[in-house]
Chains A and B, each alone.
Chain A
Amino acid sequence: MEAPVLATTETVFALKNLRVTFDTPDGPVEAVRGIDLEVARGETLAVVGESGSGKSQAVMAAMGLLPANARVSGSVTYRGQEILGLPVRELNRLRGSRLTMVFQEPMTSLDPLYTIGRQMSEPLVEHGGLSWRAAHERVLGLLRLVGIDAPERRAASYPYELSGGQRQRVMIAMALANDPDVLIADEPTTALDVTTQSSILNLLRDLQERMGLAIVFITHDLNIVRRLADRVAVMKEGAVVEQGMTDRVFAAPAHAYTRKLLDAEPSGRKEPAPACAPLLMEAEAVSVSFEVDGGMFAPPSRFVAVNGVNLILKEGQTLGVVGESGSGKSTLGRALLRLVPSSGRITFEGADLSGIRPKSLRRLRKEMQLVFQDPYGSLSPRLTVGQIVTEGLLVHEPALSSRERDARACQALEEVALDPMTRNRFPHEFSGGQRQRIAIARAMVLKPRLVVLDEPTSALDRTVQTQIIELLRGLQAAHGLTYLFISHDLAVVRAMADEVMVMQHGRVVERGTAEDIFENPKRPYTRLLVEAATLPG
């Protein structure tokens, strides 16, 4: 898709030879190493790069939002006027009126202590010279513009009463309040579900066409770039390695790193398990509900997270569970492993897990392992990698000597392509991808039959995701593992799963082979998800 390029090529916002250095206790760290970027009226420039590439730091520096230990040099101009180093008072005449910004974190970017209406009014009163009453009227119009229902009620709401997508719409409305010339959007849809993401992107495009905005769109998601950007700049380690028209960069990437990013889209397909494969796990009418505290005076109510789900897992199969946040997919995974109480019947290799005694269940735990989404939070910071990986062996194979355990740790680390020599280091010395490998090694060391993978790649950059997917597929082929693969990322599910189950509001709305679900979705909700993910090819 190609965005319409407006006739004018007037540059409104430009960074020249911008450098950002942070003074840290370990000496200066260069985050941005002299980059040049510019964006014209009505144009969308996408800045892509993986985490740590300095793309956010560059725009934060341009907006004067970096912490005190940052040193910025070079030039930032708005319509030819130098704004780097302007006194705050003068910079404030541009910030929030001519230059506005939407942040990555919709959940925390709004002040929780003020109503939506009050916060949105502030820039209008400050820059537009409106009275609070006039600002309020304008706020209602803006909320309507970004597609928020019942604007009167929403203006009186506090941020915690809105969903992430609604909050991001509020941020965009706030950014547009004073008819800005430049909108900087720093990963504005990363924290949102795919369907929400899609509607926010359409909104931005629509508004750009109507208002002739220049948009600087920072993202790591190449699908978004392809959909939205006229031009793209690729950043790596603080420098722009390639810049050009989106079509050209995607069709004929000049730099090796750009090619690597483009190739990083998860690819490959999983062969379905043979039809005669033995049954590993069966679940019938599994439901999970939580008690919701109704407050001091209201009686507690029950929230049904998983509602009557049936599933069958055959040996060697990968069942993908997709759905948006709150659809109950993670809770289902935990219920199957008996980590949360549930009703219904779950059998593992013919043994009923529902009424099983804790002691017998513990023996089965060895066969069923779980890998979590957050590679930062799920590893104990106080244990060495070797200790983390072998902790399960202490419980399940207590007869092993420490030498044998160590050998098993080395073996498990080698399997996930980590150097066994690193087993005496602590988790914080590893990158996100390496930590996820450690978490996988911890599961594999017990030689399980079933592994529940709960968004194992969501916190990782695309290039790292691809490596993890290949690793997981390799382990599955080598050991005949069965996976329950939970993810909201359809591109990853497509590459991992042979069967897919789509969940919404705790129920399964559609299931079938990966082929069917992606090529020929039947339910409207599935179609929406697949379209929103704009799968390549």
Chain B
Amino acid sequence: MLKYALNRLLAAIPTLFVIITAAFFLIRLAPGGPFNLDRPLEPKVMENLNRIYHLDAPLWQQYLGYLGNLLRGDFGPSFVYRDFSVAQLFSSGLPISVQLGGSALVLALLIGTTLGTLAALRHNRPVDLGAVTVATLGITIPPFVVAPLLSLVFGVWLGWLPAGGWGDGAFAYKILPIVTLALPQVAVVTRLTRAAMIEALSSHPVRTARAYGLRWWTVVVTHALRSAILPVVSYAGPAAAALMTGSIVVETIFGVPGVGRYFVQAALNRDYTLVMGTVVVIACFVILFNLVVDLIYALIDPRVRYG
């Protein structure tokens, strides 16, 4: 298992290299540069800036220079957030995004699998219809509607929770962002679990378990849910990577200092180093969580353990 994991991590290096290369040249293809502001700078200033940041060098030199710095763990300075390096921006924002996204995912998995299982057990009855309705709403209503609504109801009208802001990470400030992030995931996980459970409950192994008079928990959880959870696990990997690398909508509306805003802002501002930093971080998360998913999958299903 360990050998397998190490092999997979080694195999990720060429993948990362391709992603970095593609992203590096793609962002350079976009017109303009980090110092093209609404009011143009004086040519002399511009020239100086370009020289300081080596933007006047040939592109291939910049590319090799960036790769070299990356190998030393240096993501470079941010062009737009002056006085901050990309590494500093991530070291302050990433833990916040990971915490919010991770909590949202755990919440979504708990609620989603429970709801999905209940719906499957009460197939085509009111509980099932209710769960399906909730799931459909969760997917169709976008977070930029849900977030202000939650803020309005719980923050302004009821006054139970802060309507926005971060409050230095106090628990009350995290609840609404986490819920907003979790809702669409609850919907997806519910639907995946429900579909897989309906199939699992009528499968032959579960029929055997029922024919042998095993108790409800053994039939439903030990036998049916363990196989029905597999599609949820497959989904949870990419979902974890997406959630933990921040959400611009949630961070903007609730004023959370995560890393989700950086990608959009950096791309708009041609903040080359920050774009590259975000790409590397997201790629690493995706690769890591896909590996985690495969390991969990192997734990659950012995048939893929030795393949």
Which residues in A have some Cβ–Cβ distance to B below 8 Å? Answer: 63-65, 67-68, 88, 91-97, 100-101, 103, 105, 108-113, 122-123, 126-127, 158, 160, 171, 174, 295-296
Contacts and interface: CB of A to CB of B under 8 A. Distances in A.
Given A67-B202, A68-B123, A158-B302, A103 B218 contact: no
Given A112-B205, A113-B300, A65 B211 contact: yes
Nearest to B301: A113
Closest 9 CB pairs of A and B: A96-B212, A95-B213, A96-B213, A92-B213, A111-B205, A108-B204, A123-B212, A158-B302, A101-B211
Given A103-B204, A296-B307, A95 B212 contact: yes
A454 B292 CA distance: 45
Given A110-B205, A112-B205, A91 B302 contact: no
Contacts of A122: 209, 212, 214, 218
B306 interface: yes
B214 A92 contact: yes
Contacts of B213: 91-97, 123, 126-127
Interface of B: 4, 7, 123, 202-216, 218, 223, 226-227, 300-303, 306-307
A309 B215 CA distance: 54
Contacts of A88: 216
B225 to A, nearest CB: 11
Contacts, number: 81
B212 A103 contact: no
**Main SS of chain B's interface residues?**
helix
Contacts of A108: 203-205
B237 to A, nearest CB: 19
A295 B306 contact: yes
B190 to A, nearest CB: 21
Nearest to A110: B205
Contacts of B218: 122, 126
Nearest to A101: B211
Contacts of A105: 204
Contact of A112 (B7, B210, B302): B302
A113 B212 contact: no
A282 to B, nearest CB: 42
A171 B202 CA distance: 19
B204 A126 contact: no
Contact of A95 (B203, B210, B306): B210
B211 A295 contact: no
Contact of B205 (A93, A109, A158): A109
A123 B215 CA distance: 10
A152 B203 CA distance: 28
B205 A65 contact: no
B215 A92 contact: yes
B133 to A, nearest CB: 21
A109 B208 contact: yes
Given A95-B211, A108-B205, A122-B218, 5 more contacts: A65-B210, A65-B211, A103-B207, A126-B213, A295-B306
A171 B123 CA distance: 29
Contacts of B223: 111, 113
Contacts of B7: 296
A110 B301 contact: no
A64 B213 CA distance: 10
11 contacts: A64-B210, A92-B214, A92-B215, A101-B211, A105-B204, A108-B204, A109-B208, A110-B208, A123-B214, A126-B212, A296-B7
A126 B302 contact: no
Best-buried of B7, B202, B223 by chain A (most CB within 10 Å): B223
A324 B193 CA distance: 40
